[in-house]
Structure 1
Amino acid sequence: MVRRQPTLFIPHGGGPCFDMDWDPPDTWARHRAFLEHLPASLPERPRALLVISAHWEASRFTVQRHPAPPLLFDYYGFPPHTYELTWPAPGSIALADRVAGLLNAAGLACGFDAARGFDHGVFVPLKVAFPAADIPCVQLSLRADLDPGAHLEAGQALLPLRDEGVLIIGSGNTYHNMRVMMRALRGEALGVHGLDFDAWLTETVTHPDAAERARRLSAWRHAPGAREAAPREEHLIPLFVAAGAAGTDHGTKCFEDHVLGAVESAFRFG
């Protein structure tokens, strides 16, 4: 019998952050430890991974249909060795077809991309969490309008996958104001940005009523500090797919870190 998988939203760090030297050296240590311990927190080994990354947008929902996806080194200005990383997880044509079928049946048009590889929102965190790269993995795009309701609906349509052994992972960042984070990289003492929005988001995600949770997420732009935390919302929207796939399962905050002058959080449903 397959045990239902939870659905997750994880912050994926900054670029190839887990494969670089930092000052101080432990800049990403807490984040790395969270990802390393993630598999042990699951009810059983997933049969497959479905990842919704902030780094792929398409005019309609689009699912990766590649049997052996390459890596997309879609970051710039990092050390040469970070463009030689490997994470050879197989794709899954069967899962891609299942995802598209569920979305299309829900009235959410979904197409295929047979050439696209894993972007860094996928391989950077999952290289830490699942280093053996032996679980089939498929990536699903965001829809380019970044409509909150549509992405919650997409998650709702994908909920049956959880009972089929598929771990659904939204990969983004709860705070993604690069202007602030670049100042922190330059050594400016900024304190911790994003705390008001993070408090609102935590209260929203952990709300016991799933309908109220969805209502609040749909109106996220009105939350305190929302546009400072997400000047453009592509790094937040993967959370909405994860929340939609939660069904009536309660949400919990499973990780919080303060890094590069900002707060970053992870959430789990189920």
Structure 2
Amino acid sequence: MRQPTFFIPHGGGPCFFMDDPAGMWSRMETFLARFIADLPERPKALLVVSGHWEEPGFAVQDGAKPGLLYDYYGFPDHTYQLRWDAPGAPDVADRAATLLADAGFPTARDGARGWDHGVFVPLKVAVPGADIPTAQLSLRADLDPAAHIAAGRALAPLRDEGVLIVGSGMSFHNMRVRNGDATAPADLFDAALTEAVTDPDPQARDARLAAWEAMPHARFAHPREEHLIPLMVAAGAGADDAGAHVFGDHVIGWKVSGYRFG
């Protein structure tokens, strides 16, 4: 069965593993806990593109047993002891590198890098048993949206091989604003982004996403777009399948969304 692709929000640092008396992250956590569990067929492997790994060109993590990168700062001590010990997926990494190279994207390999928190934090919620082999793909440091959409299209055959492609970021990511200062422009940006993702014409969808900077309040939403670009890979890998809005919530005044293709 062909797997869909997803763009998921991964929250703030290790937010799902800390006290949250107001339930700020609870709806996002519920979504993350179900987006894989509710699929008609469990993926054989995951390929995750996180907003926290950039290389000059694309790169794949092809280690057999990656460690974790606790690449967040100022959180409680116990969050630096979290574990998510899923096996790597060197075969998926190799296949992804080949598909990208065949599409004209030279792709490096890194067997030593651990999974950053854009991978292990949401997947610790989604796959608590850590029993789905996982590979990670970097962003390309130029953050060219059209190139990342094209890279996603090159990776689309993985979906027919049982691999779930997941872009992990945040649809709004401006750490300098929150609450009332953020809500109105965040809502407008989110509406435009969702309208683009759900455009019924896949070519028009991809063109609109590639031109994301023209959306209302785009640079307010993303002063730097590394947390948005994983969406481009997920959309590209969605190929001609429709995009759907599958999660939405307000967190610290931000409108945050998740999307599915296929």
TM-score, with normalisation over the residues of structure 2? 0.98
- Output the aligned Cα RMSD: 1.0
Give, as a single letter, the amino acid of the residue that structure 1 aligns with 2:176.
R
Q: After TM superposition, give the deviation of residue 107 of structure 1 in Å.
A: 0.3
Query: What residue in structure 2 maps to residue 265 of structure 1?
Result: 257
Q: Distance in 2 between matches of 1:60 and 1:79?
A: 34
Is the Cα contact below 8 Å between 2:54 and 2:140 reproduced in 1?
A: yes
Unpaired segments ≥5 residues, structure 2: none
Deviation, structure 1 residue 192: 2.2
Deviations 1:85-134 (A, max 9, x none): 00001001111110100000000110101100110000000000000001
8 Å contact kept, 2:85–2:130: yes
**Counterpart-to-counterpart distance in 2, 1:64 and 1:31:** 27
State which drifts further: 15-24 or 79-88.
15-24
Q: Give the ranges of 4+ consecutive aligned residues of structure 1 lying more than 4 Å apart after TM superposition.
A: none
Q: In 1, are the aligned partners of 2:97 and 2:107 still within 8 Å (CA)?
A: yes
- Alpha carbons 1:9, 1:266 under 8 Å: kept: yes
Contact 2:37 2:126 in 1 (8 A): no
Separation in structure 2 between the aligned mates of residue 37 and residue 112 of structure 1, nearest angstrom: 31
Distance 2:176 2:181 in 1: 12
Residue 26 of structure 2 corresponds to 29
1:9 maps to what in 2?
A: 7
183, 192, 212: which is aligned to 1:192?
Answer: 183
The normalised TM-score by structure 1 is: 0.95
Asked if the contact 1:60/1:110 (under 8 Å) is kept, the reply is yes
State the percentage of identical aligned residues: 61
Give unmatched runs, 5+ long, in structure 1: none
> Which of 48, 52, 55 is 1:55 aligned to?
52
For residues 242-253 of structure 1, what are the structure 2 equivalents within 5 Å? Answer: 242-253=234-245
Q: Figure out how many residues of one structure are paired with residues of the other and give that number.
A: 261
Equivalents in 2 of 1:13, 1:215: separation in Å? 27
